[in-house]
């Protein structure tokens, strides 16, 4: 059983206005499990603290976020293996 949605959850459109990402990108992040999100009917609700943590991490990484050999990607079973 899932827990009820309470404070801290916003729809993708509202979230896009807060962080500056498009609603489509926010829904993609939720679908792929990068941020916490739930689809209710046709609408996506995302956990705002999860989204802000993701944005903060991407801002911290800067251009390094495009490096497929980043060490943290190996922990998540993503990216390219080092040889």
CA dihedral (62, 66, 69, 75) positive or negative: positive
Q: List the one residue out of 45, 17, 41, 20 whose CA is nearest residue 30.
A: 45
pLDDT in tens, the chain (83 residues): 455 567 889 999 999 999 999 999 999 999 999 999 999 999 999 999 999 999 998 888 777 666 666 666 666 666 566 66
List the domain boundaries for the chain. Answer: 9-62
Question: Which structure tokens are listed for 69?
Answer: 């050999």
Angle between helices 12-19 and 23-31 (to 10 degrees): 110
pTM of the entire structure? Answer: 0.75
């Amino acid at each position: 059983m899932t827990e009820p949605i309470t404070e801290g959850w916003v729809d993708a459109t509202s979230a896009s206005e807060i962080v500056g990402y498009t609603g489509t990108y926010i829904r993609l992040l939720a679908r792929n499990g990068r941020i916490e999100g739930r689809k209710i009917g046709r609408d996506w609700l995302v956990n705002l603290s999860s989204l802000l943590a993701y944005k903060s991490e991407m801002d911290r990484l800067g251009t390094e976020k495009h490096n497929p050999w980043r060490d943290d990607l190996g922990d998540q079973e993503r990216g390219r293996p080092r040889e």
